[in-house]
Chains A and B, each alone.
Chain A
Amino acid sequence: MKLGFILGEVGSGLRRNLSMVVSVVLVTFISLTFVGTAALMQMQITQMKGYWYDKVQVAIYLCGEHNEGTNCAEGAVTEGQRGEIESMLGSAAVKPYVENFEYESKEQALTHFREQFDNSSMSETVTADQLPESFRVSLVDPEKYQIIKELFSSMDGVDVVVDQRELLEKIFSIINIASFVAIGIAGVMILCAVLLVGTTIRLSAYLRRRETGIMRLVGASKSSLQLPFVLEGVISALIGALLASGVLWAAVRFLIDDKLALEYKDTAFISTGEVFMVAPWLILLGVVLAGVSSLVTLRRYLKV
């Protein structure tokens, strides 16, 4: 069987069945967009965890020049205050809770910041003075955060004690819920897509029963009988998957890269690179689902 002949058959099938093909394209497009969104949200979580999760559980931010915290009335933290906080962290009362801690100066904060946002323009506009110095404390048991907070919040020179883990958890759980919702919608939509591919192939087989009847009689092999139909489903799904990838890319490019990442400078965001990791899987998923769905349909409606 010649490729050109098969492609000709596929072309005529797509033309004759155009409205059904368009609906398959749209449904796969929407369902894969949801799948992709869920995947990207999970990648966003991983991205954030990768940078922060293990590094820091509690940050004790020290007073800067212009802080308004209750303990910051005297302006920036002094050398002595910093020493007191440090020795407090090493004291017998606190030691059992602390796994390790380290001091992060303004310069180090800036370095970290730059590492995190190395590809965005804003890292150049931030200076070391804008970032607070801090002690980064890892806890033996993150649940005991409250004890550290009580001990340090009232100390002179401490601006605020932040359990970054708690903050992150909150964000993660929101993203997680959103991605589960997306997966749920995607599941229903994928079911629709699979059924629709089946219906479309069935209709297409019906519309072309003359050709297939003749093909059978003159001894067309099973594969050459079925391939045009399978390709019809697969090509529609492929177009849908490409559209979905395109939309995800545009969303990340224009909503995250150009907006969110600029507004929330201290957060790590996914970028278009992640879309290029997700897209091949979306395409594979669409193609496999459409292929399997059309083969199953053909087993029933196009006997050799």
Chain B
Amino acid sequence: MIRFENVTMVYDQKSRLGSENARPGLDDVTIEIDRGDFAFLVGASGSGKSTFLRLILREIVATGGSVHVAGQNVARIPSWRVPKLRRGIGVVFQDFRLLPQKNVFENVAFAMQVVGESRSAIRDHVPEVLKLVGLEGKEKRQPDELSGGEQQRVAIARAIANKPQILLADEPTGNLDPATSVGIMNVLDRINQNGTTVIMATHDDGIVNSMRRRVVELSLGKIMRDESAGEYTSMIPVINQDGTRELRQADHSTWQKPSTGNQAFAPFDTEDDMP
């Protein structure tokens, strides 16, 4: 369904030529995600998860290698055909991105109007989708009358309104509490069971660990790990006494109780600590 072949994404090519410290957002990534898969993308902030998703959407075009979606090399799709590619892909974000002036029904209907669906198709299909995400009876609510979890359900409903084959989710539970997140994961799981390929970038270890799905870990733009039923992390960064940094296989005794000599920190705190 989705295939990356030696994909490299250098954001600012000019500055890369000029200075050495610019590194690619993705670096020589090769991976295949099959139809019907459910894959988590994990990795520290800046490791290239969003870059991975944006390449699939062709929001950006790889500077090296090729990205294939449903058998097509997306770089070869002429720009006027890109909308057609995107109609086959649903996207959900951390910040929901609902239209505040439109109610729940209209927000979902918007996606169908944009691609030119008829009024009757919209009238029939939107309630079905809202039922799938568990929002029956809330069609008339405005986004600001919904909880964060409910807003994310609306966003998911909008993403799947045009029956995409692929659903990309970039930290969809990033703004939600654990209990609400579980609800969202159940919705995504249900969508996946209907045959949609789901790729979800996340920092939420609890979810990854409990779902036991495929886990792809990125680090500095490279694939570190690709497990079919993985956990959030198997490696933790460790800082040695002399200041050098390295990744080590997770050793619970080491990072739960830092021993003398090594100071380790939990991977979820790295955003602030890493330069």
Task: Please indicate the chain B residues that have their CB under 8 angstroms from the CB of A304 in the complex.
Answer: 79, 82-83
Q: Which of B97, B114, B118 contacts A219 (CB 8 A)?
A: B114
Give 1 or 0 for each of A200-238: 1 = CB within 8 Å of chain B CB: 000000000011011111111110100000000000000
Given A214-B97, A214-B99, A215-B114, also A220-B57 (CB < 8 A) = no
Q: Is A2 interfacial (CB-CB < 8 Å)?
A: yes
CB distance from A104 to the nearest CB of B (A): 70
A5 lies within 8 A of chain B by Cβ? yes
- Within 8 Å CB of A217, what residues of B? 57, 86, 91
The A290-304 residues at the B interface (CB cut-off 8 A) are 304
A218 touches B111 (CB 8 A): yes
**Bound Cα distance A5, B116 (Å):** 9
B91 contacts across to A, CB distance below 8 A: 217
Minimal Cβ-Cβ distance residue in B for A218? B111
Residue interface mask B250-265, A partner, CB < 8 A = 1 = 0000000000000000
In the bound complex, residues from chain B placing their C-beta under 8 Å from that of A218 are 86-87, 90, 110-111, 114-115, 158-159, 161-162
Is A188 engaged at the interface, CB distance under 8 Å to the other chain?
Answer: no
Q: B84 at interface (Cβ–Cβ under 8 A)?
A: yes
Does A147 belong to the interface (CB within 8 Å)?
no
Interface of B is mostly: helix
For residues 99 through 122 of chain B, which have their beta carbon under 8 Å from a beta carbon of chain A?
A: 99, 110-111, 113-116, 118-119
Chain A contacts of B82 at CB under 8 A?
304
Q: A219 touching B84 by the CB < 8 A rule?
A: yes
The 8 A CB mask of B56-97 against A (1 = contact, 0 = none) is 010000000000000000000001101111111011000001
A1 is an interface residue with CB less than 8 A from chain B: yes
Bound form: Cα–Cα A161–B69 in Å = 90
Total residues of chain B contacting the partner, CB 8 A: 26
> What A residues does B85 contact at CB under 8 A?
219
Residues of A within 8 A of B84 (CB): 219
Assembled-state Cα–Cα distance A215/B109 (Å): 12
Complex alpha-carbon distance, A220 and B117, angstroms: 12
Given A210-B99, A214-B99, do A219 and B115 touch, yes or no (CB 8 Å)? yes
Q: A1-B116, A219-B115, A220-B115 are in contact. Are A214 and B83 (CB under 8 A)?
A: no
Q: Is B99's CB under 8 angstroms from A211's CB?
A: yes
Contact A1/B97 with A216-B86, A219-B86, A220-B83 known, Cβ cut-off 8 Å: no
Q: Which residue of A lies closest to B93 (CB)?
A: A217
Given the interface pairs A1-B114, A5-B113, the reply to whether A221 lies near B99 with Cβ below 8 Å is no
Residues of B within 8 A of A213 (CB): 97
A2 lies within 8 A of B116 (CB) = yes
Cα(A211)–Cα(B111), bound, Å:
10
A2 to B113, CA, bound (A): 7
Q: Which of A110-131 contact B (CB under 8 A)?
A: none
> Once the chains are docked, how many angstroms separate the CA of A214 from the CA of B162?
13
Q: How far is the CA of A147 from the CA of B90 in the complex (A)?
A: 91
A224, B97: Cβ atoms closer than 8 Å: no
28 A-B residue pairings within 8 Å (CB atoms): A1-B113, A1-B114, A2-B113, A2-B116, A2-B119, A5-B113, A210-B97, A211-B99, A213-B97, A214-B114, A214-B158, A215-B114, A216-B86, A217-B86, A217-B91, A218-B86, A218-B162, A219-B83, A219-B84, A219-B85, A219-B114, A220-B83, A220-B114, A222-B83, A224-B114, A224-B116, A304-B79, A304-B83
A contact residues vs B (CB 8 Å cutoff): 1-2, 5, 210-211, 213-222, 224, 304
